[in-house]
Structures are given as structure tokens and as C-alpha cells.
Structure 1
Amino acid sequence: MLRIRDYGRVSEKQDTPVAESVPDATATDPQNPGQPAVKPVIAAKAAKRANASVIGMVIALLVCVLAFLPIVLMNPTPKSDGYRADIDVAAIAANAKDVAGFTPVAPEPGDTFRPNYARWESGSASGVPTWEVGFLTPKESFIGLVQTRKANPTWLLQQTNNAPVTGKRNAGGREWELRDAGKGNRSLVLEYKGTTIILSGPAGIDELSTLAAAVVKSADTVSPAPSSTP
């Protein structure tokens, strides 16, 4: 006898895992063709620290600016045209009078001529003691004044750069000897009241004449000094 057994069918449902998202394999790095693009990821804490560092640097910069600002405000830029030496030619000449044996001239050709030195030189090297004053001229040139009681021909040639005598120039009511080599410095020379006065420099003859007139005026107004041996 044939027996037929009916086995019950059991239906089992198995959970199918959800596929994770996979980066698109077709996206590539533009700098490395064929390689997947990589997106940098900054952690929140790292980003916070970076922002804090930037803010700290900005604050430090502002503190430095605020610290130096009062110093800048208290020291404004000078409005004058560069540095101007405060040389009191008359006072220095008065101090040199006794040792010089004569009263050195202290010309005042006007505010546009600026003295940049005034001194008494003992003449230890040349043997000729001199009173010397330097002037910056209105045309931004220079004239040097030298005065002495002990001039000699050799010293005179040295002071005028061996320039030949080319004529005379009236300035301050006196005839000055003009020595000019045609280039470089030119000189005006005057023998006056027992001293030799030389004006030399690259300045034009008009500026030399202006200073020469002021020299004569100063020489006419100074009081004589007691004679002495420098």
C-alpha cells in the first residue's frame, strides 16, 4: 500500500542587508585623472581651533596698532624742508675773537642762506690759522668763507684751487678779485682791514656777490680785537 506523506512547506524570510552607499566611481580628481576624487574633511574641533587662531592673530595686530598710534600722533612729521642746523655764527665768531687776533666776520646774507658750520681752525697743518664758515645757498649750492691774517701766496693758490685771476667784482662797495677756472669752484678774494677773505664754491657769481656784500657789511660793523698771536 502506497503511503503519501504531505510535508508542510515552511516559508522563511531572510533579512536582506541594505547596500551601503558607495561613492560614484565615475567621479575623478581633476588633478589626477583616473583617480577617485577625495574630499577633505575637517573635524569640527579642528575647524574651531583654526578659527580661534585667526581671531587671536587679528586681535594681537589690533593691540600693536593701538599701542603705537599714540607715539605716532605725539611725533608729527616736521613741516620744514629737511634738517636745518642751528648755527649761531655771530656767537661763535665772538668766542674766537681773542684767539684769532681779529674780529671774524659774521655775515648775515638773509634767511635764504643757511650756515651749516662755523669754526676757528688753528692751522696746525697748513701753518695758516683761519676763521671758516660754510653757507648753503638759496639755489641749493654751497659757499665756503675763509678769513685769516696770515695768508701767503702758496696758501692762497691752494684755497682757490690754482684758478687764474679772471677779473674784478664789486660787492658791498669793495673790489673783489675773481678767480675762475671755468669749471668747478670759483672764488672771490678781498684784502680788507688787515685780513684776507676768500669766498669759494660751486655757487653762481650772483650768490657769491650777495654773500660778499654781507661780508663787507659785517667787517665794517665789527669792533677791532686786540692783536695777539694765534
Structure 2
Amino acid sequence: MAKKKSTEPRVVAELGRPETPEETAERKATQSRNYRMRKTVNNLVYSLLATVALVAVMVIIVPRSDKPTDRSVDYTVVAGQVQESQEAHLASPKLPKTWSANYAEVRSKTSVKSWEIGFLTPDQKFIGMAQGLNANDSWTSLMLKNSVPTGTTTIDGVQWTVYDNRDSRDDKIGNVHYGLATQAGSSYFVLFGSASNEEFTTLATALTPDIEKEANR
């Protein structure tokens, strides 16, 4: 004879008695919440793994160049664009292809506007060129960090004042280790940087046509 199935409520060990209907409903709701939370966490983990895998694939398949990024600026093009709004002739020296520029723009220091180009020499040394438009001696002094003249030199028929700070221990000179300055018409031309005398001479020589054109304007 088969045993009859018990219809008495199941005793819950933690409670020591059968669950009430409310406790049963709460237990099932808690189990449902926990299941959904586990499912959500699992989905997040799977999504994260998929994203990492996609990024890894992109890194592998996207071609990369070992060449350094070229940040050079075509200062001759910029000079042509800016020239339209300037009365003075803006310098645009013709230099060997081994030279490059990393900036070319009109800047304002105090009340004086200046056309400035930052050159990198073949030895990767810096020479800044600044052409002060309707400038003055105070502007020149500002550009050269109040350096004291140490002599003069004539380069390609143009006389330049020399500022040689290479032996100076004054931190205020910044990158004005060596400088040259001259005036032509209403423009003041200043060169400054860390390059050799020969490289300064190369740039100064390349500027001669621009200086003469400004002087005769």
C-alpha cells in the first residue's frame, strides 16, 4: 500500500517551524533579486572582456609608424597669410631643407606686435626669430631677457649687435644663450637661442633680403 504524501508545511531549519506565506514570498523575492544581480554582474564581466578583446585586436591590426611625428610648420605659407593684414614686410628667410620651424605666428608683448618663427637647426638646436613691428629698444631688451650687449658683428653687409650669454650663470636669461639684434625701418629683428655661431650666421644671412626690403620700404 502506497504511503500518502504529507500535506503538512515543510519545517525550515533556520526557523524551526514552517514558513508563513509572507516569509515564503519574501524568500522567493530575495532569490529572484540575487539571481538578477548575478546575471547583471556576469553580463558586465562578459562585456568588459569583449571590449578588452576588441581593443587588443585593434592594437594588433592598426598599422603603426616608427617614424617620429612631424610637428613642423610651413612658415612661408603662414607668412603669406599673415602678410595681407600687415603693413610691414614680414621676414620669411629661405633656408636649407635641413632646417625646420615649429611655430610661426604674430604675438603681442606689451604694446608691440611681433612676427615670430621658431627654427630648429640641422643639429636640432633652437633659434627664435622675432620681428618687432613698429618696435623699440625696450621691446628688444624684453625679447633678449635684458641681456647686455657684448659686441657687434657684420653678417652679409648687415650690422648686428651681439649678446653672448653662454658663460652666464644667470637663470633669468632662459634660452637666450646667444642673441643678435638689428633694426631696419620700423622693424627690429632679434635672433636668440642655443645654436652655434655658424648656425646663427646662416639664419642672419638668409634674413638679409628681408631686412633690406624692410629698410627700403
1:94–1:75 Cα change, 3 Å: same
Supply the distance in 1 between the matched residues of 2:182 and 2:97 (Cα, whole angstroms). Answer: 24
1:152 to 2:152 alignment: no
TM-score by length of 1: 0.59
1:163 to 2:147 alignment: yes
1:192 to 2:176 alignment: no
Residues 163, 186 of structure 1: 8 Å contact kept: no
What's the secondary structure of 2:199's corresponding residue? helix
- Among 75, 79, 102, the alignment partner of 2:63 is 75
Supply the distance in 1 between the matched residues of 2:81 and 2:123 (Cα, whole angstroms). Answer: 30
Supply the distance in 1 between the matched residues of 2:142 and 2:209 (Cα, whole angstroms). Answer: 26
1:168–1:72 Cα change, 3 Å: farther
Supply the distance in 1 between the matched residues of 2:179 and 2:86 (Cα, whole angstroms). Answer: 23
Stretches of structure 2 that go unaligned for 5 or more consecutive residues are 1-48, 169-175
Residues 94, 103 of structure 1: 8 Å contact kept: no
Count residues in correspondence: 159
1:211 to 2:199 alignment: no
More helix by share: 2
What's the secondary structure of 2:189's corresponding residue? strand
Residues 126, 193 of structure 2: 8 Å contact kept: yes
The letter of the residue matching 1:145 is M
Counting only pairs closer than 5 Å after superposition, residues 5-154 of structure 1 correspond to structure 2 as 68=57, 72=60, 75-79=63-67, 82-121=68-107, 123=108, 126-154=110-138
Supply the distance in 2 between the matched residues of 1:221 and 1:155 (Cα, whole angstroms). Answer: 21
Once the two structures are aligned, what percentage of the paired residues are identical?
25
Greater Cα radius of gyration, structure 1 or 2:
1
Q: Deviations over 1:57-111 (max 9, x none)?
A: xxx9xxx69x73x8646514244xx222241211211222233311211112212
Residues 90, 106 of structure 1: 8 Å contact kept: yes
Stretches of structure 1 that go unaligned for 5 or more consecutive residues are 1-59, 226-230
1:219–1:91 Cα change, 3 Å: farther
The letter of the residue matching 1:196 is Y
What's the secondary structure of 1:91's corresponding residue? helix
1:187–1:77 Cα change, 3 Å: same
Supply the distance in 1 between the matched residues of 2:114 and 2:121 (Cα, whole angstroms). Answer: 22
| Corresponding position of 1:19 | none
